[in-house]
Structures are given as C-alpha cells and as structure tokens.
Amino acid sequence: MDWYSSVFELIDMRSFSNLWYWIALAVFWSSASHWVLGVPYDMVLRARRSGGQAEIDLNDMARVNVNRLLHIAEVSGLWLVGITCFLLSGLAMLAVGYGIEFAQALLFLVLPMTVIGALSLSCARRIRAQAMTGEALWKQLGRQRTITQIIGTISIFVTALWGMYQNLTIGVLGG
C-alpha cells in the first residue's frame, strides 16, 4: 500500500462523514459568535460588569473595527458583492447542480456566513449612525451575537440533517 492510499484511507475525503469537517464547523461557528464585529465577546462582558477602563477599551475597539469594516465596504463594497455573488453562485451550481459533496459542505459553511457578514455591516452602520457607546454599544453587540448564534444553530442543524442524509444515501447505495 502506498503512502497516498494510506493517507486517504485514514482521512476520509467525503466531507459529511469526515470528523475534521464537523470539528471545523464547530470551531467556525464558535469563533463567529465569539468575535462580534471583530470585538471579542468577553470584552463586552467585562465592560458590562466592570465599566471604567474596560468600557473605554470596548468603545475604542468597537470604533476601530466599525470604522475599518465600513471603510472596506465604502471603498470596495460593490466589487466584494460582485465577487461574492459570483463565487456563491458557482459553488451553488457545483453543490446543487452537479451534486459535488465537497461543494455542498463549503456552501453550508459560506452561505450562512455571508448572511452574518451582511448583518454585521448593517450593525456597524447602526453603531456609527447612532454613535453608540457604553450600554447602548454592548446591547447592540449582544443582539448581533444572539443573531449570529441563532443563524449558526440553524446552519449546524440543517448541515447535520443534510450530512446524515448524504451518509445514509451513500451508505445504502455503496457509493
């Protein structure tokens, strides 16, 4: 048995039956819900609990990340939307049209994260427009985190259902 066969036997390249895919999915959504607009959520909790310097740090970090995100959107927003739509439609065609399992797995990761990105941009615009600081800021970041967690939970559930369907179908058909 050669090295190439050994590696691919050890690491199943089918996405939905691969333990690494599920670990990556969990880490992906855990990170997405921890970093709200680039601000770690423990910083929000510390600012809410302690106030003082922790709140000043939260205001500064949120301001920097909101300005950075909105600057990127203003400078190259249309290009990013176009490229994102192109890549998502190509990925959807591979996933749905051709039934490629790897493309399906990527689509289950990327499509909900695109929604999170759009909601994050909307949240950043709201924070800047209302010049949120202090309690208003951490409430807004908390709402954004809750929305991210809801979308993540739904995404993981739908991905698990589709993954089980794929594994049962391929297992029954012997593919």
Mean pLDDT on 125-134: 97
**Rounded Cα distance, 41 and 169, in Å:** 40
Mean pLDDT on 1-21: 70
Per-residue tokens: 53: 């310097």
For the stretch 67-101, pLDDT in tens is: 999 999 999 999 999 999 999 999 999 999 999 99
Locus of tokens 């993954």: 163
Q: In this model, does residue 8 exceed pLDDT 80?
A: no
SS3 state at 98: coil
Q: What percent of the chain has pLDDT over 70?
A: 90
**Rounded Cα distance, 108 and 24, in Å:** 12
- Entry pTM: 0.87
For the stretch 15-55, pLDDT in tens is: 888 888 999 999 999 999 999 999 999 999 999 999 999 99
Q: How confident is the model at residue 60 (pLDDT cuts 50, 70, 90)?
A: very high
The amino acid present at 159, given as its one-letter code, is T
136 in Cβ contact with 130 (< 8 Å): yes
**Rounded Cα distance, 168 and 175, in Å:** 10
Residues 6+ apart with CB under 8 A from 60: none
Distances in Å between the Cα of 44 and the Cα atoms of 7, 28, 48, 103 are 43, 20, 6, 36
Q: In this model, does residue 9 exceed pLDDT 80?
A: no
| Tally of CB atoms within 10 A around 157 | 10
Q: How confident is the model at residue 147 (pLDDT cuts 50, 70, 90)?
A: very high
**Rounded Cα distance, 136 and 59, in Å:** 11
Q: In this model, does residue 138 exceed pLDDT 70?
A: yes
Mean pLDDT on 113-117: 97
39 in Cβ contact with 141 (< 8 Å): yes
**Rounded Cα distance, 38 and 72, in Å:** 14
Domain borders along the chain are: 41-167
Per-residue model confidence (pLDDT) at position 38: 95
Cα dihedral: 63, 65, 66, 70 (round 10):
140
